[in-house]
Amino acid sequence: MSRDAYDVLVIGGGHAGAEAAWAAGRLGARTALITFDRAAIGRMSCNPAIGGIGKGQMVREIDALGGLMGLVADETGIQFRMLNRRKGPALWAPRCQSDSAEYPRALQRRLTACPNLTIIEAGVDAILADDAPSSAATDSPARRRVTGVLLSDGHELRCAAVIVTSGTFLGALMHTGERKTPGGRVGEAAATALSDSLRALGLRLGRLKTGTPPRVARETVDFSRLDEQPGDDDPAPFSHLTDRLDIEQVVCWISFTNPDVHELIRANLHRAPMYSGQIQAGGPRYCPSIEDKVVRFADKQRHQLFLEPEGRDSERIYVNGISTSLPIDVQQRIVAQIDGLRNARVLQWGYAVEYDFVPPEQIDASLMTKTVAGLFLAGQINGTSGYEEAAGQGLVAGVNAARYVAGRSPWILGRDQAYIGVMIDDLVTRGVVEPYRMFTSRAEHRLHLRYDNADLRLTPIGRELGLVDDLRWRRYEQRKALVEALRQTLHTTRWNGKTLAEKLREPTEDGGRFVEIAPGIAPAWSDRTVRATVVNEIRYAGYLERQSRAIEEFRSLEDREIPDNLRFEDVRHLRREAIERWSAIRPKNVGQASRVSGVRPTDVQLLLLHLSRADKLNKIRIER
């Protein structure tokens, strides 16, 4: 049996796997990305789009840290929009329609050029681990340790760390009506043996479900019956390295379901796998199937649909809003009753995918499993949905796998630092009962976590980690200098008895004459992200100050560490539910402990009291 050696092996070439492999390779780890088909790396399984509410902020963060998604989205985007412009800046979120054929090609080109990265076409049947205690200082002595993987052809690869990014392929089963087909995507096989291997390593698995809508032929759509949805006149890029987007944008279109469609769906619910009992797994609450929408929102007469081109020259139109696993004959009748689609030819039918995942209470904030040292999980295997959530986890897992191999401490992103940190903390602290999707409402510090300041928050961290190259660092320093200069000028230049900063706080002031009053600000004022950063800081200074105080309080709890050997049963008067939840999660600090589901403020106070008493006893022992 041949044995090849690597530092890090990444299983799966989706959006999590791509970022994980890129990060590990960039940090100097000998890395191999294992995928069934290298041409499928980065393929868009569902909607041909990147970004959105909460998601667009994460793409900006991935880019600020030195990841790939923002650059590839800019390179292959065909329509760009800034969502939530009518709301406050904390909620603004970039989104782009992507060319679904070009996106994976662009991503593959960058991965091919990545140092220290090899791409291997193969399936993985098992993750290999020994029973020896890990020697790493950060590991519990009782944990097993990864030693490699066994490929489906019997070939063995040795390594120190494995990152599983299996997406929807783990034990996957596709459903269209009563028909069931093994696979995680149309035309692609499921990873079946790997689930048993994970169970053998002591991990508990669950089942989740996702779905996708029909695709129709562009030439058969009656666009005269639809409302146009154009892109922004001055589109904003995702990447801090993209100066501007000089592209001809495509148009998307809007249609609606109607009562006839709803009645047809109700009449066929007994044939829907989610309602017939054929699928038992939990589906996504925030991206429900059309069957779920009709049942859960029975009072609504219509649901909005977005018709999205899958590429600039593609004949395929993605009908966003009617994800379904109903039988083909029912889908055909649904499509035929929608305005603009009455004569549409369906190129691909909708289907649901049921797949295995690992409930994420079994990983820590570095994304390493608690049972096996060197085994990392990222993406949908952790119970998330969406390309952006997967990519954010992949980057974190790739960094931490490389650091683990090098014997360095894990890198943890906090809730106060990034949406990526919010997501990971939610996963490892609260777990999931349905696919997790990021929203701005999940971030209590969202006014600090805006799309416009992602680089100011995170690029210095990426530079310290080793992900940010010289070009990106120079761009960061240039933008930071512009921000500081503009901030200084607005706070010191007076106009009609007030500083320009004070004028900006007036509801009717848009700064239209500021360049005339202070010509020196022209370069900074003309840069929309520089202007947005400084204007938002000034206009929301009071709110930001209050949130900064809240962050300091938050950090005081995050800094209060919980000893690894603490027995929660020893905390006096602690409720049984808190003991059970904390014993299962093993929170690293009091802040994380306070966010565990089922825990009350009184439980946290009892824990703090116990830790304080323990500190005093330790101090007395030391003094003696």
Among the ranges given (67-81, 128-142, 371-385, 553-567), the one the predictor scored with the smallest mean pLDDT? 128-142
Q: What is the pLDDT of residues 431-477, one digit of tens each?
A: 998 999 999 999 999 999 999 999 999 999 999 999 999 999 999 99
Which range has the worst mean pLDDT, 76-80, 436-440, 555-559? Answer: 555-559
Rg, C-alpha atoms of the chain: 26
| Residues 56 and 95: beta-carbon distance below 8 Å | yes
Tokens of 22: 């890129």
The pLDDT of 122-139, averaged and rounded, is: 75
Task: Check residue 624 and give its pLDDT.
Answer: 59
Residue of 49 and 621 predicted with greater confidence: 49
Write out pLDDT tens, residues 42-60. 999 999 999 999 999 999 9
Nearest alpha-carbon partner for 50 in 299, 236, 293: 236
Q: Which class for 510: exposed (0-12), middle (13-18), buried (19 or more C-beta within 10 A)?
A: exposed
The partner residues of 188 in beta bridges, in order of sequence, read: 185
Count Cα atoms within 13 angstroms, Cβ side, for 178: 4
Our measurement of the distance from residue 515's CA atom to the centroid of its chain's CA atoms, rounded to an integer in Å, reads 39
Provide the token pair at 4.
């090849």
How far apart, in Å, are the Cα atoms of 275 and each of 206, 263, 285, 321, 328? 19, 16, 15, 19, 16
Give the rounded distance of the alpha carbon of 496 from its chain centre. Answer: 47
pLDDT at residue number 142: 61
Q: Are the beta carbons of 517 and 489 closer than 8 angstroms?
A: no
Report whether pLDDT(277) > 80: yes
Instruction: Give the pLDDT band (50/70/90) at residue 508.
Output: confident
More confident residue, 619 or 250: 250
Nearest to 326 by CA among 289, 297, 295: 289
Beta bridge partners of 207: 356
**C-alpha distance across the termini of the chain, in Å:** 60
**Which of 40-44, 48-52, 204-208, 502-506 has the lowest average pLDDT?**
502-506
pLDDT at residue 138 greater than cutoff 50: no
Which residue has 């960039």 as its token pair? 26
Mean pLDDT over 64-68 rounds to 99
Q: Which residues contact 198 (CB under 8 A, 6 or more apart)?
A: 127, 164, 205, 356, 358
Distance CA 624, CA 620 (A): 6
Share of the chain above pLDDT 90, in %: 82
Confidence at residue 550, expressed as pLDDT on a 0 to 100 scale: 87
Is residue 254 scored above 70 in pLDDT? Answer: yes
Q: DSSP state, 222?
A: -
Residue 131's pLDDT is 82
Question: What is the per-residue pLDDT for 345?
Answer: 98
Quick one: which of 217, 215, 214, 220 has its CA closest to 331?
Answer: 214
The stretch 335-343 carries a mean pLDDT of: 97
Contacts of 590 (CB under 8 A, 6+ apart): 557, 558, 560, 562, 604, 607, 608, 611
Distance CA 450, CA 418 (A): 9
- Across all residues in the chain, what is the average pLDDT? 93
Domains of the chain, CATH where assigned: 215-351 (2.40.30.260), 469-545 (1.10.10.1800), 560-623 (1.10.150.570)
Task: Pull the structure tokens for residue 215.
Answer: 């695709």
C-beta of residue 607 within 8 angstroms of C-beta of residue 590: yes
pLDDT band, very low/low/confident/very high, at 88 (cuts 50, 70, 90):
confident
Q: Is the pLDDT of residue 245 over 80?
A: yes
Contact 493, 500 (CB under 8 A): yes
Res. 429: pLDDT tops 60: yes
Measured distance CA(35)–CA(103) in Å, rounded: 17
Q: Is the pLDDT of residue 604 over 50?
A: yes
pLDDT confidence of 140, banded at 50, 70, 90? very low
Q: Which helix (H) or strand (E) segment is 263 a member of?
A: helix 259-267
pLDDT category at 621 given cuts 50, 70, 90 is: low
pLDDT of 265: 96
Of 19-28, 127-136, 203-212, 423-432, the one with minimum mean pLDDT is: 127-136
311: pLDDT strictly greater than 90: yes
Distances (CA, A) of 10 to 203, 206, 403, 454: 18, 22, 15, 27
